[in-house]
């Protein structure tokens, strides 16, 4: 099977490649054409996932298709953007029809969930890797940034943290768990659900935001740095799932939440007066700290004493 037959059979013919809102021209020409309404801006983000680095070398292709797109779409949520389209650059060691069919099905499911249209990309031979670029639109001047946190704001997260990091021993085959626990944790690793609707709801409310991909401490450090403030996190207020608490010790669960990464929940700062209304619509939102004058990220224990935060957060180099 040649390159163009591969593209035609598994990607160009997929439902997610048949256009959508804002897609003037999709697959078939040298470039896709996207239309952004007047008064809006284009939000663009690119992620690369490499076998053996971002996912196990031997993993389920369907689950990988879901995860690959979810990771990128989460960046749109972090900016408060409405999804438009995405491209896929796929490097494959071989053109396995079974693998391609399963991967394309997983990709299609997540594209449908996120309202994203596939509009182009590339295929090459080599070690397995995936590069996805996502496109969204946001009203001019309303994109959520990392640089607007203000002293007195609350620090919030969009839900329970640590499940994906807690699932790693299961993903790697190092541990086993009962079905109810393993299914809950593995779903958070392989099928994270980008918080797109929450991100859009935070426009005009949150003063700063990002998605938690490299770990809570590391990512909050980005907000603190860009906003030139300090973020104080109360350890006891970090939300942990029942599945993670059952699978790991309390200390291990908290370490997963603080530094494990791959949560793809939103972390954001919010004026206190706006919290009741937001939680009325989004009860999963939790306050975990506040914004102070200063710099960096501080961690408080149950007694309110400052403790040294564990070193955490994923870095490639």
Expressed as residue numbers, the domain containing 49 is 3-139
Handedness of CA 315, 147, 39, 270 (dihedral sign): positive
Query: Do 177 and 92 sit in the same domain of this protein?
Result: no
CATH for 174: 3.90.650.10
Query: Do 295 and 167 sit in the same domain of this protein?
Result: yes
CATH for 26: 3.30.1330.10
282 vs 278: CA distance, rounded Å: 6
Torsion of CA 148, 154, 158, 160, to 10 degrees: 140
- Per residue in 194-247, pLDDT (tens digit) is 999 999 999 999 999 999 999 999 999 999 999 999 999 999 999 999 999 999
Higher pLDDT pick, 316 / 109: 109
pLDDT at residue 316 is higher than 50: no
Sheet holding 82-92, edge to edge: 40-50, 129-139, 82-92, 117-125
Tokens 């086993």 label which residue?
Answer: 176
Query: Do 239 and 276 sit in the same domain of this protein?
Result: yes
* pTM, 2 dp: 0.93
Query: Do 35 and 167 sit in the same domain of this protein?
Result: no
pLDDT at residue 312 is higher than 70: no
Contact between 235 and 299 under an 8 Å Cβ cutoff? The reply is: yes
Give me the percent of the chain exceeding a pLDDT of 90.
Answer: 81
Alpha helices in the chain (DSSP H): 3-7, 61-79, 97-114, 163-171, 179-190, 196-201, 216-227, 242-247, 250-255, 275-281
């Amino acid at each position: 099977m040649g390159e163009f037959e591969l593209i035609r059979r598994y990607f160009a013919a997929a439902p997610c490649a048949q256009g959508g809102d804002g897609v003037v021209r999709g697959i078939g020409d040298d470039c896709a054409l996207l239309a952004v309404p007047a008064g809006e801006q284009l939000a663009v983000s690119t992620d690369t996932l490499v076998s053996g680095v971002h996912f196990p070398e031997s993993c389920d292709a369907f689950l990988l298709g879901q995860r690959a797109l979810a990771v990128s779409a989460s960046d749109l949520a972090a900016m408060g953007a409405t999804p438009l389209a995405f491209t896929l650059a796929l490097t494959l060691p071989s053109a396995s029809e079974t693998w391609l069919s399963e991967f394309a099905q997983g990709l299609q499911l997540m594209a449908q969930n996120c309202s994203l249209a596939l509009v182009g990309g590339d295929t090459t031979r080599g070690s397995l890797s995936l590069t996805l670029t996502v496109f969204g639109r946001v009203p001019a001047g309303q994109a959520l940034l990392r640089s607007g946190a203000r002293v007195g704001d609350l620090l919030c997260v969009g839900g329970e943290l640590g499940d994906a990091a807690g699932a790693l021993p299961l993903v790697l085959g190092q541990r086993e768990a009962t079905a109810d626990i393993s299914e809950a944790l593995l779903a958070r690793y392989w099928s994270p659900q980008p918080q797109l609707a929450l991100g859009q709801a935070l426009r005009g409310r949150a003063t700063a935001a990002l998605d938690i991909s490299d770990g809570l401490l590391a990512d909050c450090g980005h907000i603190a740095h860009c906003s030139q403030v300090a973020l104080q996190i109360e350890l006891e207020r970090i939300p942990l799932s029942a599945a993670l608490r059952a699978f790991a010790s309390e200390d291990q669960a908290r370490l997963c939440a603080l530094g494990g990464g791959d949560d793809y929940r939103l972390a954001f700062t919010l004026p206190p007066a706006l919290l009741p209304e937001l939680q009325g619509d989004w009860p999963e939102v939790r306050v975990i700290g506040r914004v102070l004058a200063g710099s960096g990220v501080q961690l408080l224990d149950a007694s309110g004493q400052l403790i040294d935060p564990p070193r955490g957060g994923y870095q490639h180099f």
